[in-house]
Amino acid sequence: MRSLLLLLALVILSALAFAWPGLFGSAASDPFLASRSGLWALIALAMFAIGWRLPGDEVARVARRWPSVLGGTAIQYASMPLLAVATASVARLDADATVGLMLVGCVPGAMASNVLTLMARGNVSYSVGLTTAATLASPLVVPLALRWTLGGVSVDFPAVEAMRQLALFVVVPVGLGHAIGRLPRRRHRLDGPVASLVANLVILWIIAVVVASNRDRLAGPSLQLITALLAVNLLGYLAGDLGGRLLRVDPPMRRALTLEVGMQNAGLGTTMALTLFPDRPAAAIPCALYTFGCMLTGTALASWWSIRADRSPADPRPEDAQRV
């Protein structure tokens, strides 16, 4: 029931963010755009809440299984550019839409996948490990992938800035939250409901801010482009699930990998499109659409997993569903 309410809240809040100027006039203060400068602080807050909820044994397990992190990262960087190339070819998109779709396929995974992995009762420490590995590999992989998919385009990837943001707003808050959460104390007051609620509310607001920031780009896209983006997104989830089965990881880790592969950092793709291709402003449209779309489908998928409550016999860790 809680997951269905979150989905309903997502739709209502996103619709409100999109329609705000039309409902209240352009002169009215826009709370979504006003909070845009604090978006990274909100992400850090969500990561802190996630770290608070991380079981210590889960972190230790992922550390011992580091090859699964490298394997998951390889699956992401192998599957998503290929899916983007294949989809653009089948859909016969125009040049601008093709450039945007290639950017979607080549950028590293979205940090929001860490929050949705918590909602999905997945292995959050594995999700954070995947995001970290993908971002650290991105300075080498992203330019090569873009050069291959776009035919020799010279790409200046903001590697240092991407890694700085990851460290400051993902790795450090998760580590700090985990360290404080493991201190001997009366933990029941903040454990479970409060930490999970904070993470869920933050991701809903982040999605709404993304919608508000891209109102113009989200308006009136072609059905052809929407279908292509949806295909890349859903096939990305499928590639993550199949990759998890290939790596023989347990269901909580497979859920984390599924979300990580299907949810690309298209917000970074939007920035790269506007920076690298100033003569093609329309190339940012697929990235903006994917940012909202993958969060919507990712939230729906995580909610479905949450409703199932991870009580199937195939899940070796049913106790996790009670802890989240």
* In-domain check, residue 2: no
- The model's pTM: 0.74
Nearest to residue 166, comparing CAs of 203, 138, 142, 141? Answer: 138
105, 83 Cβ separation under 8 angstroms: yes
pLDDT, position 321: 36
Q: How many whole angstroms separate alpha carbon 280 and alpha carbon 240?
A: 31
71, 248 Cβ separation under 8 angstroms: no
Predicted confidence band of residue 83 (pLDDT cuts 50, 70, 90): very high
**How many domains is the chain built from?**
1
Which of 88-92, 217-221, 247-251 has the least mean pLDDT? Answer: 217-221
* In-domain check, residue 12: no
Q: H or E element: which one contains 314? A: none
* In-domain check, residue 18: no
Bridge partners of 109, per DSSP, are 264
* In-domain check, residue 150: yes
Q: How many whole angstroms separate alpha carbon 23 and alpha carbon 271?
A: 28
Is the confidence at residue 188, as pLDDT, over 50? Answer: no
The per-residue pLDDT for range 195-208, each reduced to its tens digit, is 667 767 777 787 78
Q: How many whole angstroms separate alpha carbon 109 and alpha carbon 170?
A: 13
Helix (H, G, I), strand (E, B) or coil at 109: strand
* In-domain check, residue 21: no
Is the confidence at residue 311, as pLDDT, over 50? Answer: yes
* In-domain check, residue 177: yes
* In-domain check, residue 236: yes
Count other C-beta atoms under 10 Å from residue 236's C-beta: 27
Is the confidence at residue 37, as pLDDT, over 90? Answer: no
* In-domain check, residue 252: yes
CATH of the domain at 267: 1.20.1530.20
Average pLDDT value for residue range 82-93: 90
The per-residue pLDDT for range 264-279, each reduced to its tens digit, is 877 667 767 766 777 7
Task: Show the tokens assigned to 65.
Answer: 């299984």
Range of the domain at 74: 33-323
